[in-house]
Every structure is written in structure tokens, then in C-alpha cells.
Amino acid sequence: MTGLVMLGAALGAAWLLGTGDAAANVRAAVEGAPADLLGVLLGATVGLYGRDRVRLRRAYASPSLAWLGKRLLLGAAGAAAVYLLSPVAWPRACLDVFAAFAALGGAVWLGNLPSRL
């Protein structure tokens, strides 16, 4: 719930203080969406491979790393939502950076979940 409040506050501030073009941001995001989504899914695949290491008892799960990975994934998704849904004047490369952080967060989160859920 706190994350939704923070995302709403960030979107509101971006609409009030933004100097860019929201429609141009959406067009730029649609053009680069396949590559960015592929990167995020590759991060999730690496995380599932790491989960197999935990399942086979070759490594230990770290709940604190899983928590940090989840926060990194959600933070990157929130920043990408601010870029998409508001008129901020950020460069297009920001979406690639957000996708990379989301892939890293997904890999760390999924790779460090405990074996029994």
C-alpha cells in the first residue's frame, strides 16, 4: 500500500513539475518495449535458475536479498511508470536503465526465495 501511495505522489509531482511531452514518452516506450521486456524476462529466467540451486541444496536462500531484489524490481517498475504516464523530460535511455534494474531485481528476488512457499 505504501508503494502505491509513493507511486501516486511521484506521478502527481511529475505532472505538476514536468516539462516534457507525455505522448512522446509513450511513443518512445512502445518503440523500445520488446527489447526491454525481453531483458526483464531474461532476468526472471536467471532468477529461476538460481532458485533451482536452492532447491538442489547447492546454495542457501537469503530472505534479505530476496526482499532487496523485490524492492529493486518494484522501484524500477515505478520509475518506468512515472516515465510512461507523465510529462517528464528524461531521455529515452532511462527506460533501458529501468529495465536493467528490473531484470537485476527480478533475478535476485526469484533466485533467493526460500524453497518452500
35 or 114, which is more confident?
35
| Of the candidates 109, 103, 105, the residue with the CA atom closest to the CA atom of residue 35 | 103
Q: Look at residue 39 in the predicted model and tell me its pLDDT.
A: 92
Q: At 8, is the pLDDT very low, low, confident or very high (cuts 50, 70, 90)?
A: confident
Q: Look at residue 113 in the predicted model and tell me its pLDDT.
A: 84
Read off the C-alpha cell for 23.
505522448
- DSSP line for 38-58: HHHHHHHHHHHHHHHHHHTTS
CB neighbour list of residue 78: distance below 8 Å, 6 or more residues apart: 3, 6, 7, 10
Give the number of other CB atoms < 10 A from CB of residue 48.
14
* Pairwise CA distance, residues 67 & 42, whole Å: 20
Question: Which pTM value belongs to this model?
Answer: 0.85
Helix residue ranges per DSSP H, the chain: 2-17, 22-55, 63-85, 93-111
Q: At 117, is the pLDDT very low, low, confident or very high (cuts 50, 70, 90)?
A: low
Element (H, E) at 115: none
For the chain, the domains span 2-111
**pLDDT tens for residues 64-90?**
999 999 999 999 999 998 998 888 888
